């Protein structure tokens, strides 16, 4: 998930957090990471969530992680997140209780939590565009309480959870809640990566590296990764990048044009979210190419139609739909994809404040993804 | 064809215009419309062109027309067009002479001239992206002499001309040189127009109307045409628009949102070429929608990624490849498409200066396309 | 819907028809058409159905129709249909009662019933392949009681019913339960019908005519309809066929080859279900073409790979998914599609035995679709 | 290339083999493998070919190979091949002379010869369906003299040869003349192989193994290879098969169903060319799956539409177009594909009769592809 100051601002969090049975919360408490306004968070005691609708499931969190979006939330950049909200939209867990309408899961089942909630019934869900589900989308740790807690309530459980087969590495699967489908759907699928193609990935953070891993499903010939952090570029090399460019010290446009005989790349994937990196993509995209934006942009960018109008290109945007999650499961099981590679640090869940510290200083700590175990 | 100040600036006109046999031109003269620098044109005597390469054909023009691009050329907006150039990239004619390597055409054949020249051999041609042909693309009336003349030399004739079956309305076919494939490929195909869809076409000039005619190949349910000229909007209504909006007097965004229950359109097609109309498309495109740019832009535009990043949209650009020309032929022959509708005025070829006057005052003259008959 | 002796034979009808509350049925009765074994049917008094699962809806039938499949059922050709079953899988109605988990519909809503039931949760539903829904698919009037009755229970109502907007012609919509999505999805979409294409439709019964109507969404240039009934061919002409062939009196292969200059058609659509018509499609399909099978086949056919292996063709099969129903709604509302054309006879629901008589003698009665009004 | 008794039977070999200048052949001779009727071949002295059309190139063969099709030709199974024909449609070489219209190649250039000849101008070539080129297609070693010779004349050289960049392993490239594009286009592309998918390849000969290598461009999760030769199955394991089945000793259908939890495979690729293997594909294809035929069939097969009509499958056939050759080049250069793996034996070109002996006893000799060096 990637943050946005503007997404889903129309939704009423109250519609999701109302507890139909006010006094039952008194019976059970849990610990959770709570947002208390810009710059303030703490590991608090909170009421354990309860089933509210027959389509809900209550999940005991086994493992969760922290997303770049969570850092933005903590800074106060995501106005839909209000004070008192439990953060987090990734994780694996065990069904504690399933609502009466839930048919795919029962108590004790191990599940992967999708960062996107899907009702399975609305116009958008029927088009498999779950990101825009009229009742779901990105609501976890945003409009309703999330996964950085001992328990979480998952609405529309049948369509928003995935069963974990026995014997699967559950830690690795935490990467399938958000980061891998995001990189794959918004970057690789939208970028139409093809065998033999030349692609550039701008940004070697966790999302950019998720693109790098999943782009190789399609065997591109040349994979250029561009970042300003030499450590991350070194990681990218070990993950399959054929070329890396440090755009802080090298002229990225010139270097890409050199590598492509002046033609530009077939696919350019923006995984940062600022104007400079998007405009770099515009500059290196070849005729007939695909520019896939993943980054969350807080500001507009300049689109150079005066040169691009005749270049036969596509530019795409997307909030992850998590429609590829079943496929990603299969590639993990088949050892075509190793999400473990993205995990650099591990903490106990009650060390989450410390884990935020590490993840928030990613460059210094050489951190990619952290795992929190309950 | 749509003009561009920047396209193909690297090409050397001299490579195309060199006459291998300098003195033969003396033998035959013809009349042609010649560009003499910004604001200056005249109907001049010029040497009749001759075959230069074995893949060339010499075509006697029967009918031609004037494109919006030609008006830009005449203003001096297209720097690749140099003084002395014969203008024009549309028309039908009769083969006067075919080069020794030309196998598809012989003297006397009636042919449609494509605005795009294709060598049929280069990397781009093999991908059917003829617009970017390494030796062709848009060169007619740009880098080499064009069709507003009694004769024209067509390079790579086998891949750049189309045979006209006997009994076909040749006047209508002039619309297939450029305007109909441009509207169809850059607008309708790139915009992924589908049965039942809601589409908006911004700009009701000849290109916008070509989009309107060819979009109906796919039976969209709602077709909204937006322009500032009430006459053109009235024409759009008769051509199949279900709704029209005069953006000079109405709030186009509000009206489109009203027609689409606040969701925006499935496809928005930009057929003007200025920032305001492109940004209007950005404002009315629905989640999951397609914004297809046709317009030639002389300046950059503002891309509102701060709202669009999460909207699952595509934005496309394209210089027409004319890959749809054979299909358009079939739809004309089957009376699924009537290009005659676009023709409002007729002149003799030697009245071309007067025709430019009419076409240049399109709003006042209620002109769409003019036909010039040799 | 099209019948099959083999489809879903593994499903246990008892799993669907068991009434959790045995004695409540005594409280209400209704009339329905009941299958009593091969050749035997009657308009009987039956218990009014009741909600069994919270995802069910009880629908009062307003209008229904008879399908060719129902005739096969009546002959005893569909072994999954057991004695005592209420037949029918098409219709429009009004919600009488909605289960507690149903969120899209409430009592009094006008709804279209899809012939395909979709749970919205299983692996196939998530791929929008509802025809193979693990809990649904074609069950109505097959494994559970159907729509040729005063009331019908619809499982998974949220995903198996469609709201009818006020002011819509409900009679016309009955054609959207099965026949139009079947013709469109299995024939037109699978056949990849394109603007300017040449297509052949083999069979001018209701399904073939539904193909004919919806194929025109894509503006093919030449539409050849082949049948052995001159009346149906005459109807096809009025529906948009450009050419018709009576294969009983003409050499269909020769005539198609003549019309296509020896190349064969781009798309051949089989809408009968016997070996002879499928093999006719094989004989007339052009290189690079698409052969789309709709017909239900009780026997194998001969595939002439000794000629077809090198022809670059596709052959497709499909049980309708009804994924196109929302789109078809829009085209009806936009008057791009007029399903009324398919209706030739009207009866009151209690005249259904007589209606079967008419429909069963379609050629003599010149019957296409009949409407039964409750 | 795969043989066919029926392909292109309408073409007149004489149209291709006529020498415009009868007496020039006397000036130069070469050695070549000549077909002398069923069962008879020899390494003969033949006139060195000469340029016949300005679009021809004369190529000195450096390396060539033998195809399964050549074995069929030698048996007399391919009636288009007449006595006296020089066989072979694969190879790499050096341009000895380029016709006057050839612009992409000059004397001394190293080139890959495509098994498919493309004029680049006809209706089929413009659709990139080169296999059905009106003047080309599979003509080399069939309707005109081929590559198992010291020299070969290549018509339409610009569109039928590919430049070999310096430093490339030319021996490996011989596999790109036919076998790799055939496996990739007819099997992998037509079979729509996707990341995470389950695929079955029936036949582990050179073509089946070419499918196996190129299917991995798309990272399927499970790759089942079925054959009756344990040696070839062992090779398949080393090439990336996840499971192998010897259909002579195991029940292939049961085993595939066991591996796929009774669902069948997403893609089944037929690479043998007999009824039994095609019908095996029919039996194991899952709902929604793709059956891609590569094999050349001399007889019809039984298509079980009585079960398949409702399974939402596609069946495809294709003669290779070699449209993927440029992409395959890139994957070889990027070391994503190692065609060397397919080469088991090497001979000098003048040992070709012995090479046929080895290749003709593939099982005993454990032969896949042989390389013949001039």
Residues D299-309 have pLDDT tens digits of 999 999 999 99
- Nearest CB to C54 within list A54, A158, A326: A54
Q: Which residues are within 8 A (CB) of C369 and not within 5 positions of it... i.e. 6 or more apart? A: C65, C66, C174, C175, C179, C206, C342, C343, C344, C345
* Percentage of the residues of chain D whose pLDDT score is greater than 90: 91
Cα Dmax for chain A: 69
Cβ distance of B55 and D101 shorter than 8 Å: yes
| Contact D276/C at CB under 8 A | no
Nearest-neighbour CA in chain D from C244: distance (Å): 26
Using the Cβ of A127 and the Cβ atoms of chain B, whether some distance falls under 8 Å is answered with yes
Query: Could D121 and B104 be called an inter-chain contact, meaning their C-beta atoms sit closer than 8 Å?
Result: yes
Burial A219-242 (b: 16+ CB within 10 A, else e): bbbbbbbbbbbeebbebbeebebb
Question: Is residue D15 helix, strand or coil?
Answer: helix
Q: For CA atoms A194, A195, A201, A205, give the dihedral sign.
A: positive
Is residue A11 over pLDDT 90?
no
CA angle B167, B172, B173 (to 5 degrees): 80
Q: Is B55 in Cβ contact with D100 (below 8 Å)?
A: no
Look at B121 and D55 and tell me if their CB atoms are within 8 Å: no
Burial class, A260, CB count within 10 angstroms (exposed 0-12 / middle 13-18 / buried 19+): middle
pLDDT > 70? residue C296:
yes
The residues facing D246 across adjacent strands are D227
The CB density around residue A2, as the number of other CB atoms within 10 Å, is: 25
pLDDT at A27: 67
The answer to whether the Cβ–Cβ distance between D158 and B103 falls below 8 Å is no
User: How far away is chain C from the Cα of B199, in angstroms, using its nearest Cα?
Assistant: 13
β-strand partners of C246: C227
* Partner-chain residue, chosen from A287, A298, A314, that has the shortest CB–CB distance to B316: A314
User: Closest-CA residue in chain A for D330?
Assistant: A196
State both tokens at A35.
Answer: 């947002």
Contact C326 A101 (CB under 8 A): no
With CA atoms as reference, report the closest residue to C70 among C18, C170, C136, C147: C147
Question: Could you tell me what percent of chain C has a pLDDT over 90?
Answer: 91
Q: What is the mean pLDDT of residues D67-80?
A: 93
The confidence score (pLDDT) of residue C167 equals 87
Question: Using the beta-carbon criterion (under 8 Å), do C330 and B216 form an inter-chain contact?
Answer: no
The first and second tokens of residue B268, run together, are 């928005």
At A133 the pLDDT is 98
Residue D23 has pLDDT above 70, yes or no: no
Q: Which run of H or of E encompasses C364?
A: helix C362-365
Q: What is the CA radius of gyration of chain B?
A: 20
pLDDT digits (tens, 9 = 90+) for A146-161: 999 999 999 999 999 9
Instruction: Classify the phi-psi angles of A299: left when phi > 0, otherwise alpha if psi is within -120 to 50, otherwise beta.
Output: beta
What is the model's pLDDT at position A12?
Answer: 38
Q: How far apart are CA B252 and CA B267, in angstroms?
A: 15
Q: Which of C100, C104, C126 sits opposite A121 (nearest CB)?
A: C104
Residue B295 at interface with chain A, using a CB cutoff of 8 Å: yes
Residue A327: its chain D contacts at CB < 8 A?
Answer: 194-196
What is the per-residue pLDDT for D10? Answer: 37
> Is the predicted pLDDT of residue A22 greater than 80, yes or no?
no
pLDDT attached to residue A167: 87
Q: Does the pLDDT value for residue C107 go beyond 90?
A: yes
Would you call D168 an interface residue with chain A, using a CB distance cutoff of 8 Å? no
Instruction: Decide: B321 and B345 in contact? Cβ < 8 Å.
Output: no
Q: Which of D297, D303, D321 sits opposite C306 (nearest CB)?
A: D297
pLDDT tens digits, one per residue of B249-263? 999 999 999 999 999
Q: What confidence tens digit (pLDDT) does each residue in A226-282 have?
A: 999 999 999 999 999 999 999 999 999 999 999 999 999 999 999 999 999 999 999
Report whether pLDDT(D7) > 90: no
Task: Give the confidence band of A26 by pLDDT, cuts at 50, 70, 90.
Answer: low
CB contact (8 A) between residue A123 and residue C55: no
Provide the mean pLDDT of chain B.
93
Q: Which two tokens stand for residue C248?
A: 């009983």
Determine the pLDDT at residue D167: 87
Q: What is the model's pLDDT at position C10?
A: 37
- Cα(A149)–Cα(A145) distance, integer angstroms: 9
Answer yes or no: is pLDDT of A21 > 90: no
* ipTM, 2 dp: 0.93
pTM for this model (two decimals): 0.94
Which among C293, C306, C318 has CB closest to D298?
A: C306
Return the closest-CA partner of residue B120 out of B151, B159, B91.
B159
Q: Residue C109's beta-bridge partner residues?
A: none
Q: What is the pLDDT of residues C29-63, one digit of tens each?
A: 999 999 999 999 999 999 999 999 999 999 999 99
Choose among D4, D132, D306: nearest Cβ to C287: D132
CB A281 within 8 A of CB A302: no
Q: How far apart are the C-alpha atoms of D313 and D266, rounded to whole Å? A: 9
Q: How sure is the predictor about C77, in pLDDT bands with cuts at 50, 70 and 90?
A: confident
Residues in chain B: 374
CA distance A227 to A237: 12
Q: Do A287 and B7 touch (CB under 8 A)?
A: no
- Mean of the pLDDT values across residues A349-372? 97
For residues D85-110, give the mean pLDDT: 97
In contact, C358 and C365? CB cutoff 8 Å: yes
Beta bridge partners of A41: A35
Any C CB within 8 A of A330 CB: no
Cβ(A95)–Cβ(A109) below 8 Å: yes
D219·A216 Cβ contact <8 A: yes
- CA C264/CA C199 separation, integer angstroms: 9
Closest CA to B156 of B99, B73, B78, B96: B99
- In terms of Cβ atoms closer than 10 Å to its own Cβ (0-12, 13-18, 19+), residue B362 is buried
If we measure between CA atoms, which residue out of D179, D199, D182 comes closest to residue D291? D199
Residues of D in Cβ contact (< 8 Å) with A187:
none
Would an 8 Å CB–CB cutoff place B331 in contact with chain C? yes
Q: Which of A287, A297, A310 sits opposite B4 (nearest CB)?
A: A310
Lowest mean pLDDT among A156-170, C153-167, D24-38, D294-308: D24-38
Helices (H), A291-372: 305-308, 325-333, 352-360, 362-365
CB B213 within 8 A of CB B235: no
Taking the C-alpha atoms of residue B216 and residue A41, their distance in angstroms, rounded to an integer, is: 56
Task: Check whether A214 has a pLDDT greater than 60.
Answer: yes
B192 and chain C in contact, CB less than 8 A: no
On whether any CB of chain D is under 8 Å from the CB of A336, the answer is yes
For residue C301, give how far its alpha carbon lies from the nearest alpha carbon of chain D (Å).
5
Note the pLDDT of residue A7.
37
> Does A238 lie at the interface with B, CB-CB under 8 angstroms?
no
pLDDT band per the 50, 70, 90 thresholds, residue B26: low
Does residue C204 have a pLDDT over 90? yes
CB contact under 8 A, A331 and D242: no
Q: What does the pLDDT average to over A95-111?
A: 97
CA distance linking residue D183 with residue D171, whole number of Å? 18
Tell me the pLDDT tens digit for each residue of B168-188. 999 999 999 999 999 999 999
Q: Is the pLDDT of residue B20 over 90?
A: no
- The rounded distance, in Å, linking the Cα atoms of A88 and A34 is 10
Neighbour count for residue D84 (Cβ, 10 Å): 13
Q: What is the pLDDT of residue D27?
A: 67
Query: Residue C26 has what pLDDT?
Result: 53
Contacts of A216 in chain D (CB under 8 A): 219
The token pair at C91 is 């219709």
Within an 8 Å CB–CB cutoff, is residue B257 touching chain A? no
Is the per-residue pLDDT at A43 higher than 90? yes
Cα distance between residue C169 and residue D140, in whole Å: 62
Judged by CB atoms closer than 8 Å, whether chains meet at D196 and A330 is answered as: yes
B251 touches chain C (CB under 8 A): no
Tokens of A202: 């701008």
- The torsion angles phi and psi of B15, rounded to 5 degrees, stand at -65, -25
Q: Which residues make beta-bridge pairs with D126?
A: none
pLDDT over 80 at D13, yes or no: no
Classify residue A124 as exposed, middle or buried by CB count within 10 Å of its CB (0-12, 13-18, 19+): buried
Look at A24-28, A94-98, B182-186, D40-44 and tell me which has the smallest mean pLDDT.
A24-28
Would the CA dihedral through D306, D307, D310, D311 be positive or negative? negative
Contact B192, B290 (CB under 8 A): yes
Q: Dump the DSSP string for C113-160.
A: EPSSB--SSSHHHHTT-GGG-SS-BS-BTTTB--SSBSEEEESSHHHH
Confidence of residue C22 (pLDDT cuts 50, 70, 90): very low
**pLDDT exceeds 70 at position B13:** no
Using CB atoms, pick whichever of A194, A218, A221 lies closest to residue D334.
A221
Condensed to tens digits (0 to 9), the pLDDT of residues C233-261 reads: 999 999 999 999 999 999 999 999 999 99
- pLDDT, tens only, B55-76: 999 999 999 999 999 999 999 9
Between B and C, how many residue pairs show a Cβ–Cβ distance under 8 A? 61
Neighbouring chains of B at 3+ CB pairs within 8 Å? Answer: A, C, D
B242 contacts C336? CB cut-off 8 A = no
Percent of chain D with pLDDT over 70: 93
Q: Kindly state the average pLDDT of the residues D199-217.
A: 98
């Amino acid at each position: 998930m990637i943050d946005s100051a503007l997404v889903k601002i129309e939704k009423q969090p109250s519609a999701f957090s109302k507890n139909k049975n006010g006094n039952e919360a008194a019976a059970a408490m849990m610990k959770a990471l709570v947002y208390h306004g810009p710059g303030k968070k703490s590991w608090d005691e909170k009421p354990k969530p309860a089933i509210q609708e027959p389509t809900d499931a209550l999940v005991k969190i086994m493992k969760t992680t922290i997303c770049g979006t969570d850092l933005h939330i903590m800074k106060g950049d995501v106005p839909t997140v209000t004070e008192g909200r439990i953060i987090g939209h990734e994780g694996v867990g065990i069904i504690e209780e399933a609502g009466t309408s839930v048919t795919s899961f029962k108590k004790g089942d191990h599940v992967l939590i999708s960062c996107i909630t899907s009702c399975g019934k609305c116009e958008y869900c029927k088009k498999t565009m779950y990101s825009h589900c009229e009742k779901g989308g990105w609501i976890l740790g945003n409009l309703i309480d999330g996964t950085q807690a001992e328990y979480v309530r998952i609405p529309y459980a049948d369509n928003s959870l995935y069963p974990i087969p026995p014997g699967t590495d559950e830690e690795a699967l935490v990467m399938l809640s958000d980061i891998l489908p995001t990189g794959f759907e918004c970057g690789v699928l939208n970028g139409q990566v093809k065998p033999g193609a030349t692609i550039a990935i701008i940004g070697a953070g966790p999302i950019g590296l998720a693109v790098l891993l999943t782009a190789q499903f399609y065997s591109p010939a040349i994979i250029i990764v561009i970042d300003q952090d030499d450590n991350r570029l070194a990681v990218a090399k070990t993950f399959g990048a054929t070329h890396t460019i440090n755009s802080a010290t090298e002229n990225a446009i010139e270097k890409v044009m050199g590598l492509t005989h002046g033609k530009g790349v077939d696919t350019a994937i923006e995984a940062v979210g600022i104007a400079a990196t998007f405009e770099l993509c515009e500059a290196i995209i070849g005729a007939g190419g695909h520019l896939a934006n993943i980054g969350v942009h807080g500001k507009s960018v300049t689109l150079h139609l005066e040169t691009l109008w005749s270049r036969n290109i596509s530019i795409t945007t997307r909030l992850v739909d998590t429609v590829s999650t079943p496929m990603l499961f299969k590639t993990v099981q088949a050892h075509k994809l190793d999400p473990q590679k993205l995990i650099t640090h591990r903490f106990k869940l009650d060390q989450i404040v410390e884990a935020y510290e590490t993840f928030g200083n990613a460059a210094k700590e050489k951190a990619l993804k952290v795992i929190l175990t309950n």
